[in-house]
Structure 1
Amino acid sequence: MLKGKQGRFRQNLLGKRVDYSGRSVIVAGPELKINECGLPKMMALELFKPFVIGHLIANEHAHNIRSAGRMIEAGEIAVWDALDEVIKGKYVLLNRAPSLHRLSIQAFQPVLIEGKAIQLHPLVCKGFNADFDGDQMAVHLPLSDASQAEARNIMAANVNLLKPADGSPILHIEQDIVLGCYYLTYQRSVTDFDNPKPFYSLDEALMAYDQHAITLHTAVNLPFRGEKRTTTLGRILFNEVFPDDFPFQDDAMTKKKLANAMALSYQLYGQETTAVIADELKDLGFEYATKSGISLGMNDFSEVPTLSKMIEEGDDIAANISEQFDQGFITDEERYRLTIENWLKVDAKVQQTLSDQFTTEDTSMSIAAISGARGNVGQVKNAVAMLGVTMDTTGRAIELPIKSGYKAGLTPLEYFTSTRGTRKTMIDTALKTADSGYLTRRLVDVSQDVFTIESDDHDPGFSIYRIDADEIGVSYASRLQGRYAAEDVKNLVKRGDLITIDIAQAIEDDTKLDGVKIMSALSSTSVRGVGRKSYGVDPATGNVVADHHPIGVIAAQSIGEPGTQLTLRSYHGGGSAAAEDITQGLPRVEELFEVRAPKGQAYLAEIAGVVNTWNDGEQSVVQITADEQSKVELQLKGRTVAIKSGSDVAIGDVIASLDEGADPLISPIAGKAEVAEGTIIITPSRQSVVKYEIPSFKQIMV
């Protein structure tokens, strides 16, 4: 009765039927502006019925509600005129289930259309995670003036251009638009920049283009925005979309470069101008994707001439590995590992060959893949060359690679081999949606009471270190930008001041600054919420976060929303004991939030040295003997040193820690410790020996 989606709570109490709402299939509306949606006339008439009746009575087309209702049923001309009047300036809300984050509900101005499908602007699809393969969306009408004002100022698509999770542009220019922009700006083999055709003006060049004297890819020399430029006509047309002071984009515009241009536009001009630029790029992209005449045929999937030779080499190496196993030189586990590595190398070599081919070709397939519009080199390799190594249902690689591609066709055995991983993927997709939704609900449950409050000036701060940024592969500046400094940093920023892009870049450029203390939600001392300065800049707007902002729910949604894309199952070495599970994807995220002890931890070498291994009954023993010269260097990362320089330490001694013993740094070997700037170096006093007893089902990698 109570539990589950169909239970009393979620079905009847939290989920109610809504008046002034509708639902229909969505189709693309490429001619719409970014804050518009196409609403079927019959749907709009039903949604706005009370307003239409009010308008008919006010303008004396009807005497009472009943006669106005009869006029609507009869479909009189006055009714449609009234509908046109009442929808002016009004906003409707569009929602696509599942509503995983706040961009799943956005407001649009309705444009009346014929037909029964709702038209959606192509650039807002990313926020809704919508496509046009049969998706349906619900439409709701906010009735009061206050709710209309909220829809216009807070929920309209043209003021929600950034993703609340990370501040990246949500206006993703992709597929046909990318194809059109790339076709317009790319450099063909016939483009000769050494001998450009001179023109007095852009109009003269366009006239020559209309007369077929030049193409979009002809090198031209003409004045553009007060500067003589040697470029292609297509690139001039592309740059016309941007304001006069925007840097000239003299490059083939791939998906990545278009995203960078949009991010720069947002930074320079803000939301409204960027929305207009995106709209114009959309029109330009669609126009030139159509004019390009790019289509796809079998001949666009060009073969790899050296494929059979590369596969033969792989077969020879695989046969050699099997022979070594038969003669007892390697174990079964090593044979398996070496075989998989061999075929992965062959696969990578085939892909690299195809990638090199792509750069010299000028086919529809290479244009689509290089531009980032659709597909990639890996998918083309699967079609024309070989599928390579596939996974079984447990996620373990199958030794027998698929040596054929889809174009040539798979053998019955290869086809059967490929079905195993494919079927698992299909099942996982169905199952993980529910799991991801459940994780989001639990995260919202624990974090829904967390809001921002007026500044918390007592925040002691939290240190962000350069070395941590390097380890996770992001720039140091990106970790500091948009936060407030918790201490004075040289002459760059004072405590309580915002670290802007320029200041963050200056800190990154100064290599002497290893760590900076910033105010953080982790160090905020307020019990009523998180201080605005502790939270920093709101990624969704690029401005300082508003007071009483529901940051808890936003954080929960930001983790839950991409959760659907994560894999579901925990993989393990096919058929081996469950203790060897390597937890990945969604279960790993749950494990982190529930602070469970992870299963199947890896055994990591604590010291460098010479390895000896032997079997001891049901377990293996790995012994590492350290070389006397092998020093161990440990980073302090802001910890306070707890020993004197030159003192002797034993294995397991605490040599440094944060306040009150938190996050201790422990000596992995016995020896003499020297304290240097930011590090402790331990030199072994004698040969240290570390012994590990490893269960038999674990794979030893040394």
Structure 2
Amino acid sequence: EYEWQGKRLLTTPGRVIFNSEVERALIGAGVGDAEDHPFLNRTLSKRELDGFIGDLVEHYGPNTIAAALDVIKSLTFRFATRAGITISKNDIVVPKEKEEILARFEAEVRTVEKEYDRGLMTEEERHERIVAIWTEATNEVGDKMIETLSEVNPIYMMANSGARGSFNQIRQLAGMRGLMANPKGEILERPVKANFMEGLTVLEYFISTHGARKGLADTALRTADSGYLTRRLVDVSQDVIVREENCGTADSIELPLILDGSPNKSVAGRVASVDVHKPIKDGKPGRTVIAPKNEEINMSVLRKLVEEFGEYADTARIPVRSVLKCRSEYGICRLCYGTFLATGGMAEIGDAVGIIAAQSIGEPGTQLTMRTFHTGGVAGADITHGLPRVVEIFEARNPKGAATLADIGGKIDIDDSDRTIKVTITPTALDEDGELPNPKEYSFPRRTRLRVTKGQLVELGDALNEGSLNPGELLQLRDPTATELYLVGEVQKVYKSQGVEIHDKHIELIVRQMLKKVRVETNGDTELLPGQLVDRVVLERENARVKKEKGEQATFEPIILGITKASLATESFLSAASFQETTKVLTDAAIEGKIDRLNGLKENVIIGKLIPAATGLKQYRQIAIEPTDPLPVTFQHPEAEAELLAALEEIGEGDGFDLDSLGLGLDEPALDTPALDAGAAELEPAPEE
């Protein structure tokens, strides 16, 4: 037992040492007193420690916690030096219940086989059920194995602390290896029931080799593919720099306050687009503003929102600014971007947020799997996963096994009496002419998994069967915002499945670049050409000008470009030429007589200019520093001090005097020089008296 702030706690000596040292460091850095620091009475794994340091940064700022980080580093090194762990095969403990668990699930498999033999299910259903049974068996053996291991078992400690390995790998050592895939990527029904401690049979060893070889081949390919993805992402986003304070947009996106049962981290790090009030209670609207308009929502504000919304938090949606809605012509504005995640404060004008977004998405790309597991001929389930899926989304390709989308909204009717499944949508709303549109019929193969049920109401663009959506088709049926949010969600699904956390704003920034252009349909009285690809902001500005002059506005259709095409369609021909298809880009630019405004980073690097980011921005280059207080005069020789005092007495106290009369060679106007232009002007030395 240990006494902390007047309370008795049951804890360990290690936790006492850790808490005491960190508290001493924080108090030494002038942050709060002993009452402010709670006692951390839990095991600090790698993830827990990351969270703890994140909380320290949030509460005390990045500069003040350096002392605490130093203490954590010294403590961990000191104790890691004194106490190490070794692992041996005796630490691998196979759970006693394994045989009984396997026998139970084998009986379930036999039942499924009997039902199949009696014709009660299809071949696909049988395969699917057997795979599901063995997956459950593997998980149960794995859970029992973790229960069997002691908390001080070296292998358990190694995985639990986050130092090396995972429980999935320990499961293969002490539990059971589980299901394997064949060279085609289909999951084999026959699992590897043994683990490495017991030893594999020849057949089990042989079916394991497919996955092992594929794993090694994937690792080699993954690094190259991930590197190329990063390069494309950097190229498409390199000119996105924070250029202004506020673009003035009234548009926003709405994000759920609660996601998967916990506060939605995507809301934190953004700016509220309206005043967020307390919810209505007892029929009275809340007057208190929890998150003011144009103010940053950090983690503490997010927690307060969840607390204040209480029972309504699960359904609440918060309107926030997003880069998807930013109206800045070049780059983006501070308020639409929100928090700069590297510092924890608001983004500054000049931050190269595009490059940071590209690196945040590209760098974890090597952690994603390349594997495409197929469920063995089940239609609509052969969906690409891992890195290839991320590339498929960012290149806006028509996905493999794409879902069919509803062309009209209405009520669903399903007829599966024939060899094919017929889905009919009967419209329930009148069209623009005030008439009820004709019903629309869709046919699917019998094995198709439908997402809709009989009598269900669907909207335009809803998926009727399982599968990924074609972003181009979704954009035609719905608005750009729905497409943008779908793409962001799909990328997040892939990264979350591998346990990688990326803030939505990074993905939104790339998606914004993909949907930035529109195709001109009719040019009206504008200076644009039909079929021309232009930035949406440019077209809207042209239309506003024509409207003012009472002319005919241009019409357009939104388009989606993959990141490669978007990079080549950029306004800068220097940037596009240095990316791919150099000859084509340069000849097209020469024919059109293009002008490169040098707005991005790459084009400035190419011609050897300062990049227009951070201190390279013009407004930062025009700064001259003027002293606000008179500079203190120090003397090395007492005689010089005596001479100055005598001179001051001659002039008379309180009268104005010029520095030249002292004969010190100081030139007064030199201290009052106007702002220097880009550092070109230099101070002239004072003339000798």
Q: What TM-score do the two structures reach when normalised by structure 1?
A: 0.53
| 2:76 maps to 1:285 | yes
2:561: which partner in 1? Answer: none
Look up the SS of the partner of 1:427 in the other structure: helix
| 2:446 maps to 1:620 | yes
Distance 1:456 1:342, change over 3 A: same
CA displacement at 1:288 relative to structure 2: 2.8
Q: Which runs of 5+ in 2 are unaligned?
A: 24-33, 278-288, 422-443, 461-476, 486-689
Describe how 1:149-160 pairs up with structure 2 within 5 A: none
CA distances 1:533-579 after superposition (whole Å, capped 9, x unpaired): 111110000111111111111111111111122223545455899x9
2:502: which partner in 1? Answer: none
Q: Distance in 2 between matches of 1:558 and 1:286?
A: 29
Describe how 1:136-535 pairs up with structure 2 within 5 A: 220-222=1-3, 224=4, 229-243=9-23, 244=34, 245-292=36-83, 294-358=85-149, 362-466=152-256, 470=259, 473=260, 475-476=262-263, 478-490=265-277, 491-509=289-307, 510=309, 511=312, 514-535=316-337
Amino acid corresponding to residue 314 of structure 1 in structure 2: F
Distance 1:515 1:427, change over 3 A: same
Q: Distance in 1 between matches of 2:375 and 2:210?
A: 15
CA displacement at 1:632 relative to structure 2: 5.1
Q: Distance in 2 between matches of 1:268 and 1:633?
A: 47
CA displacement at 1:415 relative to structure 2: 0.5
2:506: which partner in 1? Answer: none
Amino acid corresponding to residue 68 of structure 2 in structure 1: I
2:568: which partner in 1? Answer: none
CA displacement at 1:623 relative to structure 2: 11
Q: Rg bigger for which structure? A: 2
Q: Report the number of matched residues.
A: 419
CA distances 1:302-348 after superposition (whole Å, capped 9, x unpaired): 12112122222333332333333333332222221122112112111
Look up the SS of the partner of 2:359 in the other structure: helix
Q: Distance in 2 between matches of 1:301 and 1:269?
A: 43
Contact 1:389 1:398 (C-alpha < 8 Å) held by counterparts: yes
2:384: which partner in 1? Answer: 583
2:646: which partner in 1? Answer: none
1:149: which partner in 2? Answer: none
Match of 1:568 among 370, 373, 384: 370
Match of 2:346 among 544, 548, 551: 544
Distance 1:614 1:439, change over 3 A: same
Contact 2:247 2:328 (C-alpha < 8 Å) held by counterparts: no
Q: Distance in 2 between matches of 1:260 and 1:660?
A: 33
CA distances 1:379-404 after superposition (whole Å, capped 9, x unpaired): 22211232111122333211111111
Contact 2:412 2:458 (C-alpha < 8 Å) held by counterparts: no
Contact 2:187 2:375 (C-alpha < 8 Å) held by counterparts: no
2:468: which partner in 1? Answer: none
1:558: which partner in 2? Answer: 360
Q: Which runs of 5+ in 1 are unaligned?
A: 1-219, 636-655, 665-702
CA distances 1:478-533 after superposition (whole Å, capped 9, x unpaired): 23223222222232233322224333333333227833332221111110220111
CA displacement at 1:608 relative to structure 2: 8.4
Amino acid corresponding to residue 551 of structure 1 in structure 2: V
Match of 2:399 among 570, 579, 598: 598
Q: Distance in 1 between matches of 2:119 and 2:235?
A: 58
Look up the SS of the partner of 1:231 in the other structure: coil
Cα root mean square deviation, aligned:
3.9
Look up the SS of the partner of 2:114 in the other structure: helix
Look up the SS of the partner of 2:11 in the other structure: strand
Describe how 1:83-122 pairs up with structure 2 within 5 A: none
Amino acid corresponding to residue 335 of structure 2 in structure 1: K
Contact 1:614 1:621 (C-alpha < 8 Å) held by counterparts: no
CA displacement at 1:269 relative to structure 2: 2.6
Distance 1:613 1:339, change over 3 A: farther
Contact 2:2 2:10 (C-alpha < 8 Å) held by counterparts: yes
Look up the SS of the partner of 1:487 in the other structure: coil
CA displacement at 1:246 relative to structure 2: 2.5
1:698: which partner in 2? Answer: none
Q: Distance in 1 between matches of 2:448 and 2:231?
A: 45
1:202: which partner in 2? Answer: none
Q: Distance in 2 between matches of 1:483 and 1:357?
A: 45
Contact 2:142 2:176 (C-alpha < 8 Å) held by counterparts: no
Distance 1:353 1:565, change over 3 A: same
Amino acid corresponding to residue 73 of structure 2 in structure 1: K
Q: Distance in 2 between matches of 1:661 and 1:419?
A: 44
Look up the SS of the partner of 1:465 in the other structure: strand
Q: Distance in 2 between matches of 1:493 and 1:239?
A: 34
Identify which range, 610-619 or 541-550, moves more after superposition.
Answer: 610-619
Q: Distance in 1 between matches of 2:457 and 2:99?
A: 49
Query: Relative to total residues, which structure has the larger strand share, 1 or 2?
Result: 1
Look up the SS of the partner of 2:296 in the other structure: coil
Amino acid corresponding to residue 264 of structure 1 in structure 2: D
2:285: which partner in 1? Answer: none
CA distances 1:202-222 after superposition (whole Å, capped 9, x unpaired): xxxxxxxxxxxxxxxxxx345
Distance 1:573 1:231, change over 3 A: closer
CA displacement at 1:408 relative to structure 2: 1.3
Look up the SS of the partner of 2:253 in the other structure: strand
Look up the SS of the partner of 1:439 in the other structure: helix
CA distances 1:3-53 after superposition (whole Å, capped 9, x unpaired): xxxxxxxxxxxxxxxxxxxxxxxxxxxxxxxxxxxxxxxxxxxxxxxxxxx
Identify which range, 235-244 or 532-541, moves more after superposition.
Answer: 235-244
2:580: which partner in 1? Answer: none
CA displacement at 1:442 relative to structure 2: 1.4
Contact 1:396 1:572 (C-alpha < 8 Å) held by counterparts: yes
Contact 2:272 2:320 (C-alpha < 8 Å) held by counterparts: yes
CA displacement at 1:452 relative to structure 2: 0.6
Amino acid corresponding to residue 480 of structure 1 in structure 2: V
Distance 1:240 1:453, change over 3 A: same
CA displacement at 1:457 relative to structure 2: 4.4
Look up the SS of the partner of 1:316 in the other structure: helix
Q: What TM-score do the two structures reach when normalised by structure 2?
A: 0.54
Look up the SS of the partner of 2:229 in the other structure: helix
Contact 1:613 1:621 (C-alpha < 8 Å) held by counterparts: no
Contact 1:454 1:547 (C-alpha < 8 Å) held by counterparts: yes
CA displacement at 1:458 relative to structure 2: 1.1
Amino acid corresponding to residue 565 of structure 1 in structure 2: Q
Distance 1:238 1:347, change over 3 A: same
Distance 1:576 1:274, change over 3 A: same
Contact 2:181 2:373 (C-alpha < 8 Å) held by counterparts: no
Distance 1:570 1:381, change over 3 A: closer
CA displacement at 1:417 relative to structure 2: 0.4
Describe how 1:624-635 pairs up with structure 2 within 5 A: none
